[in-house]
Amino acid sequence: MRDHAKLRAFELADEVAILTYRGTRTFPKEEIYGLTSQMRRSAVSVPSNIVEGCARESQTEFLRFLEIAFASLRELRYQFTLSKRLGYFDFDEKSFTGYDSKILETEKVLGALIRSLRNPNRLQSNQPE
């Protein structure tokens, strides 16, 4: 079993979840069971799946849960852009850009972790002999 707290991908995903909860507080009340709920579920799904994957014994299962986490993160990115276009986010431009950047950074880190697990020989072949 792995320690999820040692993974940068988990750390970033956790930050995205917190930012999502804070950012959706000001969404319209009629969205409480719609976009607000969906974004929060997607955001919590990312670190939750990383944690669950870390608790699995096999590398294959770990990778499967990381892939689920990545899919939830991509879903959240769409929901974020949709809510932005609808004018729901009450962020100033700096905060808004920070949230967008945090999602993108999380995608990059999680994607790199997934790629490294899919092809572990590639990492070894790039090391000097």
Q: Which residues of the chain have pLDDT under 70?
A: 91-96, 122-129
Domain that holds residue 46: 4-121
* pLDDT single digits (tens) 73-88: 999 999 999 998 999 9
Contact between 69 and 46 under an 8 Å Cβ cutoff? The reply is: yes
Pairwise CA distance, residues 67 & 29, whole Å? 32
What is the predicted pLDDT for the residue at 91? 66
pLDDT of res. 9: 98
CA separation (Å) from 35 to 20, 77, 84, 93? 11, 12, 11, 21
Write out pLDDT tens, residues 38-59: 999 999 999 999 999 999 999 9
With respect to residue 127, please indicate whether it lies within any of the assigned structural domains: no
List the CATH number of the domain containing 82. Answer: 1.20.1440.60
Number of independent structural domains in the chain: 1
